[in-house]
Amino acid sequence: CAVAVFASCTKKLDLLPTNDVTSAQVYSTPAGYKEAFAKVYGAYALTGNQGPAGNGDVQGIDEGFSDFLRLYFNAQELPTDEAVVAWGDAGIQDFHNMNWSASNPFLTGLYYRSYYQITLCNDFINQSSDANLSSRGITGVSADSIRTYKAEARFLRAYQYAVIMDLFGSGPFVTDKDVIGSATLPTQATRTQLFTYVESELKDLESSLVAPRTNEYGRADKAAAWALLARIYLNAGVYTGTPRYTDAITYSKKVIDAGYSLITNYPQLMLADNNLNTSEFILTINYDGLKTQSYGGTTFLTHAPVGGSMTASNYGISGGWAGYRATKTLPALFPDNTGTADKRSQFYTAGQNPEINDQTVFTDGIPVTKYRNVTRSGANGQSLDFSDIDFPLFRLPEMYLIYAESVLRGGAGGDATTALTYINNLRTRAYGNTNGNINASTLTTDFILDERARELYWEGFRRTDLIRYGKFVDGTYLWPWKGGVKSGTAVAAFRTIYPIPSTDLSSNANLKQNTGY
């Protein structure tokens, strides 16, 4: 080939995909920003870009397992008295048996899902810089909207770092300052460093978020940032060794005072049309049986606990997956298993043996019927295979409980009377009357732990709560099959923190494994 021919010969080597586009094309219009922004949120709800499966975000784990909520539920609920699972999927039994290792596929999946969302946020934040907006000619109202998106992306990133801090203790630290795709290895942030970062970031971005209850459904506002602050302050003693109950009171109170109210009927919280519950929900992950399909999320929460003699159609699904149940200690917190007195008690008992002889037998244990893909009027969700139920990441009762616990634990700025009122608000709704209300002498921290279980069970709180109460690993509180023993046993203290996945240790020389693993 002569030089000219050579040039034409080799130019052919520059090929472009047909349907995929470059970042410059995506971010050339405000509409493109919104579609990229939808991914920043949608990465919570979905497992990939093709519902329900087929083009997953996270590799190395079955796509159906790989959404945030299902993974988070396994990490937060399965190692506790609130849940056991019948299945034999690789690593799933390790949770309740409390013998997980650094190569557990679910922990690995959760870790990479969290960092995936962090990376998406970092990219979006970068793309939304003022310099990029002006170079792309986006100004005025459009630019203002994108600046709000950017603040929300920062919030979501802070949320994921809070999750990493809680579950894994420490982890690699990357922000929008780091170049994606570069060979630079991230450094490891300690738990305290993560706490400091999340706290300062939330306080810094708070002003850029819209006022409580003024954003579009499914998007974060100031109240979401306050609620997250309240949550991390409640657990600050665990994370940093320094309790921050006063701050927990401050921020839970800000949320409570922002105009939220409880919906009337607790069993309507987790139904197919629970997008109506905006008075109580602060921020939701949105699902849709037709348009937002995955095998995780609330589809998982509706299908997984249905089996045995349960009639699938009662739960708005075509058939159950016969997997998850609670141990007997969860229903034991309620006056009855049927919701007669405390309507929060939503269990299925017919044909179920409360004693678990074998975790892998579905009919041992008590299924939870809290999530049902039917509407308030009893109609089925849009699809019998995928749920319409939205999942509240934050809802008002948690703020009441944070306030009350922080007051009882000596935080300043709140008072016991208000705390009691808040708790009785929950109990009045639960009972439909004041029969379940308590008096000040009953309101102890241990009562709060039980009340949190009653109010928030199967919503992803239990592990964190048990750790805060010192009951997660030691022998003072046992539940069936804790530590893999039928009557329950204490496990090593290092298991209050999950291991950094060995896959990341093999890719990033800056990382050190957590003690014990």
Partner 1 sequence: QEKTVSGKVTDAKDGSALQGVSVFVKGSTKGTQTGPDGTFKIKVSSGATALTFSSVGFASQDVTIGTGDVFVKLVQNNASLNEVVVIGYGTTRKKDLSGSVTTVSSKDFVKGAITTPEQLISGKVAGVAITSNSGAPGSGSTIRIRGGASLNASNDPLIVVDGMPLDNGGISGVANPLSLINPNDIETFTILKDASATAIYGSRASNGVILITTKKGKSGKPTYSFSSQMSVASIAKKVDVFSADQIRSIVNTKGNASSAALLGSATTDWQNQIYQTALSQDNNLSVSGSLKKLPYRISVGFLNQDGILKTGNLQRTSLGINLSPMLLNNHLKIDLSLKGTYSQSRFANEGAIGSAVTFDPTQSVYSKSNRFGGYWEWLDPATTTGLKSLAPLNPLGLLLQRDDRSKVQRAVGNALIDYKLHFLPDLHALLNVGADLSEGKGTVLVPDSAASAYMRSPDKKHGGVNNQYRQTRQNTYLNFYFNYTKDIKSIKSRVEATAGYEYQDYLTMNYNFGDYTTDGTVISTPIYPFDKPENTLVSFMGRMIYTFDNKYILAGTIRRDGSSKFNPNNRWGTFPSGAFAWKIKEESFLKNVKAISDLKLRVSYGITGQQDGINNYDYISYYNLSGNQAEYQLGNNFYQMYRPGGYYYNRKWEQTATTNVALDYSILNGRVSGSVEYYYKKTTDLLNQINQPAGTNFSNKIVANIGSMENRGVEFTVNLQAIRSKDVTLDLAFNATYNQNKITKLTISDDPNYAGAQFGGISGGVGNTVLINSVGYNRGAFYVYKQVYDPVTNKPIDNLFADKNRDGIVNSADLYQYKGIDPKAFFGFSANLNYKKWNAGFVMRANVGNYVYNNVASSTGTLRNIINPIGFINNGSTDYLNTYFSGSGDKYFLSDYYVQNASFLRMDNINVGYNAGKIFNKRANLRVSANVQNVFVVTKYKGLDPEINGGIDNNFYPRPRTFVLGLNLDF
Q: Which of residues 200-219 bind partner 1 (CB under 8 A)?
A: 216-219
Q: Judge whether 341 and 335 are in contact, CB under 8 Å.
A: yes
Rounded to an integer, what distance in angstroms lies between the CA atom of residue 127 and that of residue 29?
A: 12
H helix or E strand, kind and range, residue 31: helix 30-45
- For partner 1, the closer CB: 22 or 264: 22
Rounded to an integer, what distance in angstroms lies between the CA atom of residue 3 and that of residue 9?
A: 10
Region class of 168: left (phi > 0), else alpha (psi between -120 and 50), else beta? alpha
- For partner 1, the closer CB: 268 or 358: 358
What is the Cβ-side half-sphere exposure of residue 105, based on CA atoms within 13 angstroms?
16
- For partner 1, the closer CB: 27 or 334: 27
- Considering the rule CB under 8 A, would residue 278 count as an interface residue with partner 1? no
Q: In this structure, what are the phi and psi dihedrals at residue 292, rounded to the nearest 5 degrees?
A: -130, 80
Neighbours of 110 (CB within 10 A): 29
Instruction: Determine the interface stretch with partner 1 among 204-212, 257-265, 356-364, 366-374 (rule: CB under 8 A).
Output: 356-364
Instruction: Determine the interface stretch with partner 1 among 129-137, 319-327, 423-431, 439-447 (rule: CB under 8 A).
Output: 319-327
- Considering the rule CB under 8 A, would residue 188 count as an interface residue with partner 1? no
Of 71, 75, 78, 120, the one binding partner 1 (CB under 8 A) is 120
Instruction: Determine the interface stretch with partner 1 among 75-83, 95-103, 200-208, 461-469 (rule: CB under 8 A).
Output: 95-103
Which of 197, 238, 164 shows the shortest CA–CA distance to 511?
164
CB of 94: closest distance to partner 1 in angstroms?
6
- Considering the rule CB under 8 A, would residue 349 count as an interface residue with partner 1? no
Of 92, 153, 282, 473, the one binding partner 1 (CB under 8 A) is 92
Of 261, 264, 278, 318, the one binding partner 1 (CB under 8 A) is 318
DSSP string across 71-131? HHHHHHHTTSTT-EE----TTTHHHHHT---TT-HHHHHHHHHHHHHHHHHHHHHHHTSHH
Q: In this structure, what are the phi and psi dihedrals at residue 107, rounded to the nearest 5 degrees?
A: -65, -40
Which residues, other chains included, contact 280 with Cβ-Cβ below 8 Å and sequence gap of 6+? 260, 261, 262, 263, 269, 392, 395, 396, 397
Rounded to an integer, what distance in angstroms lies between the CA atom of residue 122 and that of residue 178?
A: 8
Q: In this structure, what are the phi and psi dihedrals at residue 143, rounded to the nearest 5 degrees?
A: -65, -40
Fill in the DSSP letter of residue 362: T
**Total residues contacting partner 1 (rule CB under 8 A)?**
120
Of 134, 313, 417, 515, the one binding partner 1 (CB under 8 A) is 313
Of 310, 399, 430, 466, the one binding partner 1 (CB under 8 A) is 310
Of 75, 83, 84, 86, the one binding partner 1 (CB under 8 A) is 86
Judging by beta carbons within 10 Å of its beta carbon (0-12, 13-18, 19+), is residue 421 exposed, middle or buried? middle
- Considering the rule CB under 8 A, would residue 119 count as an interface residue with partner 1? yes
Of 74, 170, 293, 514, the one binding partner 1 (CB under 8 A) is 293
- Considering the rule CB under 8 A, would residue 373 count as an interface residue with partner 1? no
- For partner 1, the closer CB: 291 or 486: 291
Fill in the DSSP letter of residue 364: B
CB of 440: closest distance to partner 1 in angstroms?
43
- For partner 1, the closer CB: 355 or 415: 355
Of 79, 296, 307, 331, the one binding partner 1 (CB under 8 A) is 307
Taking CB under 8 A as the criterion, which residues in 9-28 touch partner 1?
Answer: 9-10, 12-23, 25-26
Of 28, 29, 30, 102, the one binding partner 1 (CB under 8 A) is 102
**Which amino acid, residue 253?**
K
- Considering the rule CB under 8 A, would residue 237 count as an interface residue with partner 1? no
CB of 504: closest distance to partner 1 in angstroms?
5
- Considering the rule CB under 8 A, would residue 513 count as an interface residue with partner 1? yes
- Considering the rule CB under 8 A, would residue 58 count as an interface residue with partner 1? yes
Taking CB under 8 A as the criterion, which residues in 158-187 touch partner 1?
Answer: 171-174, 178, 180-186
Rounded to an integer, what distance in angstroms lies between the CA atom of residue 123 and that of residue 293?
A: 25
CB of 59: closest distance to partner 1 in angstroms?
4
Of 28, 30, 52, 485, the one binding partner 1 (CB under 8 A) is 52
- For partner 1, the closer CB: 218 or 335: 218
- For partner 1, the closer CB: 41 or 394: 41
- Considering the rule CB under 8 A, would residue 358 count as an interface residue with partner 1? yes
- CA–CA–CA angle 335, 340, 345 (5° rounding): 60
Of 311, 377, 434, 441, the one binding partner 1 (CB under 8 A) is 311
Which residues, other chains included, contact 457 with Cβ-Cβ below 8 Å and sequence gap of 6+? 82, 326, 330, 368, 370
Q: Which is it for the CA torsion 52, 55, 58, 64, positive or negative? A: positive
Cα dihedral 191, 197, 200, 206 in deg (nearest 10)? -110
